[in-house]
Amino acid sequence: METILNISNLSKTYQSAGRSLTVLDDINFAITAGSTNAIVGPSGSGKTTLLGLCAGLDRSSTGKVELNNINLGDLSEDQRAQVRNQFVGFIFQNFQLLPTLTALENVMVPLELRGEKNIKARATELLDKVGLADRGHHYPAQLSGGEQQRVSIARAFSNRPKLLFADEPTGNLDAETSEKVVKLLFDLNKEAGTTLILVTHDLDLAARTQRILRIKGGRLIADEKNN
Ligand SMILES: Nc1ncnc2c1ncn2[C@@H]1O[C@H](COP(=O)(O)OP(=O)(O)OP(=O)(O)O)[C@@H](O)[C@H]1O
Ligand SMILES: [Mg+2]
């Protein structure tokens, strides 16, 4: 089976107030293309940090990240941005929508960066999928938390990523909307073969993936297959 993400001896140490804090310590795993995976662990255990390193948003202190056989450590900031735009979708825990752009424009950004055509129609279609067809002209500040989360999901889908990282994708949603979003994620996996890596505190959601990686205190403490 093809590996789409290979993490070896990954560590991350932050320097703050003259002290160093190791938040990830010697993490190793490989993710199979087309698979569904969950990362679980207590608050502060390093999940968001790990996701950011895997997606090339940030650089590790030591170790290696290979995404689609590209060693991210060899790349400049700009080259990493290109790899992200080409292969990666990211749903942020805190959404990270651009405040000066409308919902529709936020979804259009990755499409514009790729120089695609008919981007307005495609972005409209994506907003419709997350139930926000009538909110396209709203700015992020004019949307509820759950609505912002859904815009960020539509944006992450827009470049048809090979790998989709989602940090607490249902954290701000009610049960019904949450189920719709989860279905969108798994449909994308089934229909487009998108590899999913979800961070979640929702153990029912984690149980629906093929594999659960457990992080505690910055270390990978378990790696379990679901049946
Ligand atoms: N830029 C930074 N500088 C210093 N410490 C940081 C920085 N970013 C994160 N940390 C620390 O790294 C640790 C891991 O943070 P991270 O956000 O990865 O946790 P998490 O597992 O995603 O938690 P949660 O479930 O609450 O989202 C935390 O203790 C946090 O305080
Ligand atoms: Mg987090």
Could you read off the pLDDT of 56-104 as tens digits, one per residue? Answer: 999 999 999 999 999 999 999 999 999 999 999 999 988 999 999 999 9
Out of 13, 39, 49, mutate this one to test ligand 1's pocket (max ligand atoms within 8 Å of CB): namely 49
Section 17-46 average pLDDT: 96
Please give the domain boundaries of the chain with CATH numbers for all domains: 3-225 (3.40.50.300)
- Ligand that comes closest to the CA of residue 42: 1
Section 112-141 average pLDDT: 94
**pLDDT tens, 208-222?**
999 999 999 999 999
Section 157-182 average pLDDT: 91
- Ligand 1 atom 25: the closest Cα is on which residue? 43
Length of the chain, in residues:
227
Residue list, ligand 1 pocket, CB within 6 Å: 14, 16, 21, 23, 41, 43-49, 93
Q: Which residues partner with 82 through β-bridges?
A: none
CA of 93 to the centre of ligand 2 (A): 6
Share above pLDDT 70 across residues of the chain, in percent, rounded to a whole number: 100
pLDDT-derived band at 114, boundaries 50, 70, 90: confident
SS3 24: strand
CA of 116 to the centre of ligand 2 (A): 32
* pLDDT for 180: 86
CA of 68 to the centre of ligand 2 (A): 24
Residues 53, 59, 62, 67, CA torsion sign: positive
**pLDDT tens, 149-165?**
999 999 999 988 999 99
Q: Give the whole-angstrom CA distance, residue 37 versus residue 54.
A: 13
CB atoms inside a 10 Å sphere around CB 178: 18
* pLDDT for 24: 98
- Which two three-digit tokens encode residue 115? 């120089």
Whole-model pTM: value is: 0.94
* pLDDT for 177: 86
Q: Give the whole-angstrom CA distance, residue 214 versus residue 145.
A: 27
* pLDDT for 22: 96
CB atoms inside a 10 Å sphere around CB 150: 29
When the pLDDT of each residue in the chain is averaged and rounded to a whole number, the result is 94
Nearest alpha-carbon partner for 38 in 150, 159, 201 = 201
- Ligand 1 atom 5: the closest Cα is on which residue? 14
The label of the residue with tokens 């749903």 reads: 91
CB 145 within 8 A of CB 172: yes
CB 193 within 8 A of CB 1: no
Environment class of 72 (CB within 10 Å of its CB; exposed 0-12, middle 13-18, buried 19+)? buried
Section 200-207 average pLDDT: 94
Nearest alpha-carbon partner for 169 in 215, 85, 155 = 155
* pLDDT for 71: 97
Helix axes 119-129, 103-113, angle to 10 degrees: 130
CA of 48 to the centre of ligand 1 (A): 7
* Residue 1 pLDDT exceeds 90: no
CB 89 within 8 A of CB 164: yes
